[in-house]
Amino acid sequence: MNIGASMFGIFDSGLGGLTVVKEVLKRLPNRPIIYFGDTARVPYGNKSEEVIKKYANEGVEFLLSRGAQIIVLACNTMSAIAFETLKKKYDAPIFEVISPAVKKAVQVTKNGRIGVIGTRATVGSGVYEKKLKIENCKLKIYSEPCPLFVPIVEEGWVGQKETEKIVKEYLKPLQKAKIDTLILGCTHYPILKKTIKKVMGRGVKLVDSAEEVAKEVAKFFETSGFSFLGTRRECKIFVSDKTDYLESWVGDWLGGDVKVEKVTLG
Ligand code: DGL
């Protein structure tokens, strides 16, 4: 692979952003992608704003230095805390995952009661509430941080009974709130979609921020005349810490033999 070629740069604190990679590949199968997962420092969601901004900046710098021309912050935490600063700093188009999910949730809800789950940093930032209220001030928003979901996903504990118990515990207040729409406000959470769906029941529609940002990226690509990205399907995965387990997890999730390379930032 020519690492100097023009690519989509997709960035998350860990492996959750691979849910975005998968969705982008579905829509733009022949575009090269470079992914960075900061696996040595995940999770970001319980860190301070200052640290999240610093890490976000380092990840974006890395992707740009490796030829990324469009950056997708495949992470709600960075989108909530660091997006505005990054947008001002860099010329490259940068996508965040929150606005597309907000748009979708507003279209989907019938009773105007929307739940949001995310990391402590995302929920604490209040960004989903703010953006949803701008769309419709009458909406009732119920937010719950679910800090254990990220380590559960990074550990691959997807189908376990214990996982279902934890999901039930976190989602109890949202069940009581009679929401009809639930935003998965963390890119790790689509990996737990089946369990979340089972717990919330059929009456609650799940909005997947990974899916929604991928639609937005594909639309931008088709309409903006941004034509100088490569035209070969290539997917290069970089992480800041690597184990055999991680490599096999990535291969299982993306399908096929995916090469994962460890890099040290800075
Ligand atoms: N996948 C991330 C998000 O969407 C990250 C979580 C974390 O690092 O805590 O928020």
Do 102 and 58 share a structural domain? no
In the block, which residue shows the tokens 């088709």?
A: 222
Q: How far does the centroid of ligand 1 lie from the alpha carbon of residue 101, in Å?
A: 15
Give me the mean pLDDT over the 113-117 stretch. 98
Is residue 48 a part of any domain in this protein?
yes
Do 171 and 109 share a structural domain? yes
Q: How far does the centroid of ligand 1 lie from the alpha carbon of residue 184, in Å?
A: 11
Q: How far is CA 127 from the centre of its chain?
A: 15
Domain boundary among 177, 194, 209: 209
Is residue 2 a part of any domain in this protein?
no
Is residue 168 a part of any domain in this protein?
yes
Backbone angles phi, psi at 140, to 5 degrees: -105, 125
- The predicted-structure confidence for 217-243, as pLDDT tens digits, reads as follows 999 888 877 665 666 678 899 999 998
Do 110 and 202 share a structural domain? yes
Measured from the Cα of 44, ligand 1's closest atom is 8
Closest CA to 31 of 2, 8, 57: 8
- The helix (run of H) or strand (run of E) holding residue 144 is strand 140-145
pLDDT for res 43: 93
Do 110 and 68 share a structural domain? no
Probe residue for ligand 1, chosen from 79, 120, 154, 187 as the CB with the greatest number of ligand atoms within 8 Å: 187
Is residue 1 a part of any domain in this protein?
no
Give me the mean pLDDT over the 185-198 stretch. 96
Do 248 and 186 share a structural domain? no
Do 108 and 198 share a structural domain? yes
Q: Which amino acid is at 239?
A: V
Do 37 and 136 share a structural domain? no
Measured from the Cα of 77, ligand 1's closest atom is 10
Probe residue for ligand 1, chosen from 47, 119, 144, 146 as the CB with the greatest number of ligand atoms within 8 Å: 119
C-alpha count within 13 angstroms, C-beta hemisphere, residue 21: 30
Q: How far does the centroid of ligand 1 lie from the alpha carbon of residue 105, in Å?
A: 20
Do 248 and 159 share a structural domain? no
Is residue 169 a part of any domain in this protein?
yes
Q: How far does the centroid of ligand 1 lie from the alpha carbon of residue 139, in Å?
A: 25
How far apart are alpha carbons 40 and 154 in whole angstroms? 12
Any idea what the CATH number is for the domain that residue 35 is in?
A: 3.40.50.1860
Measured from the Cα of 185, ligand 1's closest atom is 4
Q: Which strands make up the sheet holding 94-95, listed edge to edge?
A: 94-95, 68-73, 7-12, 33-37, 235-239, 260-262
Measured from the Cα of 45, ligand 1's closest atom is 9
Catalytic pick among 137, 146, 186, 235: 186
Q: How far does the centroid of ligand 1 lie from the alpha carbon of residue 118, in Å?
A: 8
How far apart are alpha carbons 244 and 75 in whole angstroms? 24
Tell me which residue range forms the domain holding 42: 7-96+211-262
pLDDT for res 230: 65
Ligand 1 contacts (CB < 6 A) are 12-14, 16, 42-45, 75-77, 119, 122, 150, 186-188
Do 72 and 169 share a structural domain? no
Domain boundary among 164, 190, 209: 209
How far apart are alpha carbons 222 and 212 in whole angstroms? 16
How far apart are alpha carbons 199 and 240 in whole angstroms? 34
Active site residue 235: no
- The predicted-structure confidence for 52-109, as pLDDT tens digits, reads as follows 999 999 999 999 999 999 999 999 999 999 999 999 999 999 999 999 999 999 999 9
Give the residue, by CA position, lying nearest to ligand 1 atom 2.
75
Do 83 and 64 share a structural domain? yes
Is residue 129 a part of any domain in this protein?
yes
Do 24 and 59 share a structural domain? yes
| Per-residue pLDDT band at 257 (split at 50, 70, 90) | confident
Is residue 171 a part of any domain in this protein?
yes
Partner residues linked to 207 by β-bridges: 183
Structural domain total, the chain: 2
Closest CA to 206 of 78, 104, 89: 104
Do 215 and 203 share a structural domain? no
pLDDT for res 109: 98
